[in-house]
Amino acid sequence: MLKDKRTSTQPFITYTGMIWLLAAQLIVMLPFTTSLPPWLLAVVVLAAGWRLRVLAGKASQPKTLLKAGLLLLGIAAVFLSGLRLPSLEAMSALLLLGFAFKAVEAVQQRDALVVILTGYFLVALHFLYTQSIIAGLYGTLALIVLTGALVGVQQTLEELTPAQQVQFNFWIAGQILLQCLPLMVIIFVLTPRFQPFWSLPLPTEQHTRGILDRMAPGDIEKLSQSADLAFRVSFKTERPPQTDLYWQGLVLQHFDGREWRQFATEQDPEQLKWTLKHEYSYQEHNLKTQGMAYEYEAIYEPSGQNWLFTLSPTTEVQGEALRAADYRVMAKQPLQSPLLIRAVSRPASIRDLELSPKLRALALQLPSQGDNRSRELAKNLYAAAGDELTYIQTILKRFKEQAFFYTLNPPLLGETDTIDGFLFDSQRGFCSHYAGSFVFLMRAVGIPARVVVGYQGGEWNKAGNYLAVHQFDAHAWAEVWLPNQGWLRVDPTSMVAPERTEQNLEAALKKEGRLLEQSVFSSRKFAWLNSIRQQLDRMQYGWQRWILSYDSATQAQFLDKLLGGLSVLKLAGWALALLVCLALSGLIWLGLTRQAHAEALEHRLYRRFTERLSKQGFERRLDQTPSEFGALAAQAWPAQAEKILAFTATYQTLCYECDEPQAKQRSSLLRELRRLLSQLP
């Protein structure tokens, strides 16, 4: 059992260490292939393969010139693969390239450490692209493998085969990281959250999706094909009835004859933010609150856009959001990761008893010409109705009673006179057609009106107690302004297809039967499949709600719940209690309580045996084995020779031949040891 292994002063990476490193690199790089050039993966395999061949003695280490050439080639390839230069992607791609190339250079342990630390960084970097549960689990796996590599590259256990070593290191890494988990959670919960210090380039990979800032006939039905989630809402108070769930997103005021837009000129998000802040800012005194107040939290999926969707009007909003004069709520930044806001809405409130001239002008805008049949119709009907309210009802009645159909695939309407085309010719349309033409008919007779786009309804998740709103819930409706009543919501679609608002899109299109055939609703057909889907969705919601959206507000709320009123003293008390618990469990875990049994019984008995003999003058030298010592002592003390030899033999059997499971044999041997010891003088 003599060990005489010398270690060199310059620690190198061993073959198994290199395999660990390669595995860690592959695992770290794999998820990047969806957003970055996949050939980077080939680079790491080739680089590590080369290094492994060098270690096996089958190739020589590449020359510096060659390495530099390959690196330049790689950098050129990164730029040629179409990544914009000052972007997160380009930075990630360059980092990954260096990471991949490092494999061929990983000779000393120091190189391995560089690779592993970079790997940790890349794991975190990938979370900027996706934060799903799957990504989280995968990231955890990557962390374990990286930590395993950290263990593996620094020492070799010759006692184990390479496969066993991998398993062992994996186990060690997993164990340590698991032990880190409670501490990590505590730090996660207690660390203060700060506002961003400076703005960094965001991943451009996510394209904008969901509702756009304009609406041409047929735009919204495209969304109805998508089962992607838009946002989830959980209510603190009771939930409004399904027919009242109108999630206002943005208001479209400007009509150019075909398309509805927010303003006459196109504005990018920054300009729009400026306009809304300065020209159309939210005025609290315009709102006369009344009726039921609904309090809720909504988490919006990353859409790459600023739109948020709330029940209008909101009286309170918390989070990274601003409000405007049209009662919309808008995120301050385009949504690249899930955003949580808390809001209170009072849908029955009266909005804008007085309409400012600016808003009135916006709400009455129409193109100077076109759609003449519709203008004619409006004038005639308004003259017949006499007042605004009757006129509105006449129009709605017309939609209901005439041969108007609600359909996902309406006929094309051409470039001009789209309102005429719909109202008089096709009479088939989706919500955008109804909302657009309704507002047109209102404006044609001088009633301020506007198109609102957003979502209507949502799917109630009973298990999770929240509402999930999907892209196919996208909807467009109208608002008209009446003196003394302010803005009123009017949904012309509900006249044609009441099921749309009472139930959902699926019910409204039952006659058509088209959606059902497509995958959008397929999992909703079977009850059991549906409940599994809802459970999964609920898990994701919890993940988003409690982990991804853990911000300073959630933190304060959580701590408040935990501590019952936040105070420094209480916080300190909890921290102290936690520390004491940690320290205690640490001490127990470190085995301080095991000290008493540090020496096995047989060794203690043997020690007593040698003490007895030393009283007789037979000292055991440290380099004597028990059998050598036993033989000598027996020779020197013939009277007790038999017992000495028997004791030594039994002790050796216990130490070297008795396996752990044979407890019975063990205890009988121990009894024998005790008996022999007691017989010695």
Partner 1 sequence: MLETWPPQFAHWFKPRWPRTRTLTLGQRNIFILPSKTALALLGLIAVLFLLGINFQNALVYGVCFWLFALLIVNLLHTWRNLRGLSITAIHIQPCFAGEKAVLELELACPPKQQKFAIKLAWPEEDAVQVNLMTTQTVRVKLSHSTQQRGHFNPPRLHISTHYPTGLAVAWSYLALEITGLVYPAPAPKHQQPYPTNSLDSTHPSGQTLSGGSSDFGGIRSYQTGDSPKQIHWSHYAKTGKLNTKVFVDYASHDLWLDWANLANSGIEPRLSQLCRQVLDAHQAQQQYGLKLPGLVIPPSKGEAHQARCLQALALFGVEHAQG
Q: Which residues bind partner 1 (CB under 8 A)?
A: 1-7, 109, 113, 117, 120-121, 123-125, 127-128, 131, 135-136, 139, 143, 147, 150-151, 154-155, 157-160, 172, 176-177, 179-181, 183-184, 187-188, 191, 193-200, 202, 336-337, 547-551, 586, 589-591, 594, 597-600, 622-623
d(CA 416, CA 323): 34
Q: Which is nearer to partner 1, 409 or 625 (CB)?
A: 625
Q: Which is nearer to partner 1, 143 or 245 (CB)?
A: 143
Q: Which is nearer to partner 1, 510 or 607 (CB)?
A: 607
d(CA 538, CA 341): 18
Shortest reach from residue 155's CB to partner 1, in Å: 4
Q: Can you tell me which residue has the tokens 């193109």? A: 367
Q: Which is nearer to partner 1, 403 or 590 (CB)?
A: 590
Q: Can you tell me which residue has the tokens 């939210």? A: 282
Kindly state the tokens that stand for 624: 């004597």
Shortest reach from residue 582's CB to partner 1, in Å: 10
Q: Which is nearer to partner 1, 135 or 507 (CB)?
A: 135
* Local structure of 503: helix, strand or coil: coil
Q: Can you tell me which residue has the tokens 């420094």? A: 568
Shortest reach from residue 666's CB to partner 1, in Å: 13
Residue 603: phi and psi, rounded to 5, are -70, -35
Residues 488 and 457: beta-carbon distance below 8 Å: no
Q: Which is nearer to partner 1, 115 or 480 (CB)?
A: 115
Residue 31: phi and psi, rounded to 5, are -70, -20
Q: Which is nearer to partner 1, 232 or 261 (CB)?
A: 232
* Local structure of 244: helix, strand or coil: helix
Shortest reach from residue 542's CB to partner 1, in Å: 13
Shortest reach from residue 330's CB to partner 1, in Å: 17
Dihedral class, residue 13 (left if φ above 0, else alpha if ψ from -120 to 50, else beta): beta
* Local structure of 369: helix, strand or coil: coil
- Closest Cα to residue 378, out of 427, 446, 441? 441
Shortest reach from residue 489's CB to partner 1, in Å: 34
Q: Which is nearer to partner 1, 193 or 615 (CB)?
A: 193
Torsion of CA 54, 56, 58, 64, to 10 degrees: 0
Q: Which amino acid is at 174?
A: G
Please enumerate in sequence order all residues whose Cβ is within 8 A of that of 647, keeping only pairs 6 or more positions apart, or say none: 609, 630, 673, 676, 677, 680
Residues 632 and 618: beta-carbon distance below 8 Å: yes
Active-site positions?
Answer: 431, 475, 491
Shortest reach from residue 662's CB to partner 1, in Å: 16
d(CA 224, CA 506): 10
Shortest reach from residue 180's CB to partner 1, in Å: 4
d(CA 681, CA 674): 13
d(CA 132, CA 541): 10
Kindly state the tokens that stand for 32: 């990047």
CA 440 to chain centre: 42
Cα–Cα–Cα angle for 182, 140, 40, rounded to 5 degrees:
155
Q: Which is nearer to partner 1, 76 or 556 (CB)?
A: 556
Q: Which is nearer to partner 1, 169 or 426 (CB)?
A: 169
Residue 658: phi and psi, rounded to 5, are -95, 115
Element (H, E) at 156: none
* Local structure of 428: helix, strand or coil: strand
Q: Which residues pair with 307 in a beta bridge?
A: 330
Shortest reach from residue 228's CB to partner 1, in Å: 21
d(CA 512, CA 606): 91
Shortest reach from residue 79's CB to partner 1, in Å: 24
Kindly state the tokens that stand for 633: 């002592």
For 657, which DSSP code?
I
* Local structure of 174: helix, strand or coil: helix
Please enumerate in sequence order all residues whose Cβ is within 8 A of that of 471, keeping only pairs 6 or more positions apart, or say none: 209, 210, 223, 224, 226, 227, 228, 229, 230
Residues 284 and 315: beta-carbon distance below 8 Å: no
Residues 461 and 468: beta-carbon distance below 8 Å: yes
Q: Which is nearer to partner 1, 271 or 625 (CB)?
A: 625
Shortest reach from residue 182's CB to partner 1, in Å: 8
d(CA 43, CA 579): 47
Q: Where are the alpha helices (DSSP H) in 471-567?
A: 493-496, 498-502, 505-508, 514-517, 519-522, 527-542, 552-563
Q: Which is nearer to partner 1, 183 or 361 (CB)?
A: 183
Q: Can you tell me which residue has the tokens 């469990």? A: 585
- Closest Cα to residue 679, out of 639, 635, 628? 639
Shortest reach from residue 192's CB to partner 1, in Å: 10
